[in-house]
Chain A
Amino acid sequence: MKHLATAVLIVLAPFCFTGCGRQPATVANPPRTMISVFAAASLTESFTEIGKRFESANPDAGVEFNFAGSQQLRAQIESGAEADIFASAGEKEMNAAKAESLVKADTVHDFARNRLIVIYPKDNPAHIAGLKDLATPGIKIVIADVSVPVGKYTRQMLDQLAADPAFGPEFKKHFLANIVSMEDNVKSVLGKIRLGEADAGVVYVTDVTPEAAKDVGSLDVPDRFNQIAHYPIAVVARTTRGDLAEKFEEFVLSENGREILSEYKFLPVSAAGR
């Protein structure tokens, strides 16, 4: 029974991003000014923590979150959702928002980076010990669809591997032949591996939380093949709480914010900044 409950949680988790909607970081006390932060699903854990710290540093302010796919968040802001901050998991969505003047262009800053990792079920049924094992015929690989940022990065990683003589185009061909499913978001990839239904998957480093690490093992992807996801943040153009929104963005970019993000395994933005 406990196994079933865990499975239900694992599989339904991605649907919660669309279903659960806004989650107030804490119970609201009336006189506070609330800001609404629209953040990528992969920021769920780290931004919830950042929200708590921001609130304790600013007792008169409150933060509520809406976590979902970056593409979906942009569409929501576009259709008039009341947002003050937009934090995207990809530059594509932020650039689109900037082009449509949905965000204040001078407030767009990268605040974190992420990278890919290969995961497999803890008991490793396909005996994956190195990247080359991903080309073993007959193993089952699950990745994200190309429409999802992580799915796009996964394919770019494959191209890099194919270009390396140690792997070559044959590696890519076999890898692609092993794919059994292209999931609609990164948490669904994680779920299939956690349940042991597939032999390997490609997700972000930050998806392997301590909780997920109980069910999966991981294989690092060397820098020369790995892809770096950039996370930009910006103040939404239509905000009526611009001062507080800017304060929140500053907090995310501050030493404090960076520390929290690195606790959740996000990479810092390169020293040169933007």
Chain B
Amino acid sequence: MADETPIPRRRSWRLLILAALPLTALIVIPPIALLIRTSPGTVLRYLGTSAVIQAITLSLWTSAVSLLITVIFGTPLAYILGRGHFFGKGVLEVLIDWPIVLPPAVAGIALLMTLGRRGLIGAWLARAGIEIPFTPIAVIIAQTFVSCPYYIKAASVGFSSVSQGILDAAALDGASPIQRFRNVTLPLASRSLMVGGALTWSRALGEFGATIIFAGNYPGRTETMPLAVYIGFEIDIHQALTLAAILLIISFGLLLGIRAAYSKV
């Protein structure tokens, strides 16, 4: 497919590279600036402190759980959106985008209005003795809320790009719907699912605004890495820089790992 596009001549390439530079610089320089200001020694020293370990542990397990929830419930939704034809599909697609366009702080308030103990559903839960705000569950819900659209969107594009012809051929060969999904659709859409999953996980790991409003800030319970960086910024800029560098390394490592795993598949 790639061969169909004409290869630009050297001069055009130079122009293209020149045009691509500003955004590349904008994305690449800030993390470098952050890492330059921190020494590996201090990073290692902070990595050993219980407060940092607590924040990292909490961030990793909550974001992993929210990724899991997204994959379990997002895959059927993405399939419906990618391959289904029904009334109101366009509206549903726009609705699923809304956590992406919403400022995270507003997402936090919306979650409080829904699941807070005076909220639409929360008031009802509170009567049953279940209160979600200020718990790790609130952290997971906030992360899932803001990050699941990335997976759903990517996965639905992946599912929709699987050609009906191939599926029909498999059906003719006697493959059951489950076999068709497992052996045809899933492998063909796997790249989209991987990319979407990686985006969702990174977004969940970096979630800040909705978490601090909906889940509050309590070390070991709701203080994830981004919150620890923010609070640390007010105490000691060096500590905040170090935490930020650690967060950067973890999320970069995560994306790199997923990419490596994918290229082996």
Contact = CB atoms under 8 A, between A and B. Distances in A.
Interface of A: 3-4, 7-8, 11-12, 15, 69, 71-72, 140, 142, 145-148, 179-184, 188, 192, 195-198
A181 B117 CA distance: 15
Contact of B109 (A8, A142, A180): A8
Given A4-B109, A140-B131, 20 more contacts: A7-B109, A11-B105, A11-B108, A12-B105, A12-B106, A12-B109, A69-B234, A145-B234, A147-B231, A180-B133, A180-B216, A181-B215, A182-B231, A183-B217, A184-B212, A195-B116, A196-B117, A196-B118, A197-B117, A197-B134
Contacts of B215: 181
B213 interface: yes
18 contacts: A4-B109, A11-B112, A11-B213, A12-B105, A15-B105, A69-B234, A147-B234, A180-B218, A181-B134, A181-B217, A182-B231, A184-B212, A184-B234, A188-B212, A192-B216, A196-B117, A196-B118, A198-B134
Contacts of B118: 195-197
Nearest to B209: A15
Contact of B113 (A7, A69, A140, A148): A7
Interface string B69-93: 0000000000000000000000000
Contacts of A7: 109, 112-113
B230 interface: yes
A182 B112 contact: no
Given A8-B106, A181-B134, A197 B116 contact: yes
Nearest to A142: B216
B216 A11 contact: no
Interface string B118-152: 10000000000001011000000000000000000
Contacts of B265: none
Contacts of B213: 11
Given A12-B105, A195-B112, A182 B217 contact: yes
Contacts of B231: 145, 147, 182, 184
Given A180-B216, A184-B212, A197 B234 contact: no
B218 A182 contact: yes
Nearest to A11: B109
B153 to A, nearest CB: 27
